[in-house]
Structure 1
Amino acid sequence: MPELPDVEVFREVLESCAQGRVVRRVDVYDAGVLHGVSARRLREALEGRRFTGAERHGKWLLARTGGPLVLLHFGMTGRLVCADAGEAIDAHDRVVFTLTGGRQLRYRDQRKLQGLWLCHDAAEAARLLERQGPDALAVDRDAFEAALSSRRGKVKTVLTDQTVLAGLGNLLADEVLWRARLHPALRAGDLPQPDRRRLYTHMRRTLRSAVIAGCVPPRDAWLTGHRDDPDPACPRCGTHLRRTRLSGRTTIWCPRCQPAGS
Structure 2
Amino acid sequence: MPELPDVEAFREVLASCARNQRIEHVEVYDTGVLHGVTAARLRRDLEGRRFKEPQRHGKWLLARTDGPTVLLHFGMTGQLVCARPADELHAHDRVVFTVSRGRQLRYRDQRKLKGLWLADDAALARTLEAQGPDAAAVGREEFAAALARRRGTVKSVLTDQSVLAGIGNLLADEILWRSRLHPARKAGGLTEAELGRLHTDMRRVLREAVRAGRVPPRRTWLTGHRDDPNGHCPRCGTSLRHDRIAGRTTVWCPNCQPPPSP
Deviation at 1:200, TM superposition (A): 0.4
Q: How far apart in 2 are the matches of 1:48 and 1:66?
A: 10
1:14 aligns with 2:40: no
Structure 2: 5+ residue runs without aligned partners? none
Q: CA separation in 2, counterparts of 1:183 and 1:146?
A: 20
For 1:186, what is the secondary structure of its paired residue? coil
Number of residue equivalences: 261
Q: Please state how far the C-alpha of 1:205 moved relative to its aligned partner.
A: 0.3
Indicate the residue corresponding to 2:68 in structure 1: 68
Cross-structure match for 2:54: 54
Helix, strand or coil at the partner of 2:104: strand
**Structure 1 partner of 2:209:** 210
Matches within 5 A, 1:215-254: 215-254=214-253
SS in 2 for 1:76: coil
Contact kept, 8 Å, 2:96 with 2:105, in 1: the verdict is: yes
The ranges of structure 1 where at least 4 consecutive aligned residues each deviate by more than 6 angstroms after the TM superposition are: none
Q: Hey, what does 1:103 align to over in structure 2?
A: 103
- Counterpart code for 1:133: G
Deviation at 1:53, TM superposition (A): 1.3
Cα deviation, 1:117-155, whole Å, max 9, x if unaligned, reads 0012x3320112221000000100000000000000000
One-letter code aligned to 2:168: G
Provide, for residues 81-117 of structure 1, a one-character-per-residue CA deviation record: whole Å limited to 9, x for no partner: 0000111111100000011111000000000000000
Q: Distance in 2 between matches of 1:113 and 1:42?
A: 19
CA shift at 1:20, angstroms? 1.1
The answer for the alignment partner of 2:42 in structure 1 is 42
Who is 1:133 aligned against?
132
CA distance in structure 2 between the aligned counterparts of 1:167 and 1:153, rounded to whole angstroms: 18
Unmatched segments (≥5 aa) in structure 1:
none
Amino acid at match of 1:73: H
> What is the CA-CA distance between 1:261 and the residue it aligns to?
3.5
In 2: Cα distance, 1:138 partner to 1:66 partner: 26
Q: Superposition RMSD on alpha carbons, in Å?
A: 0.8
Question: Any residues of structure 2 matched to 1:117-156 within 5 Å, and which?
Answer: 117-120=117-120, 122-156=121-155
Q: Distance in 1 between matches of 2:212 and 2:202?
A: 15
Percent identity over the alignment is 69
3-state SS, counterpart of residue 183 of structure 1: coil
Give the match for residue 175 of structure 1: 174
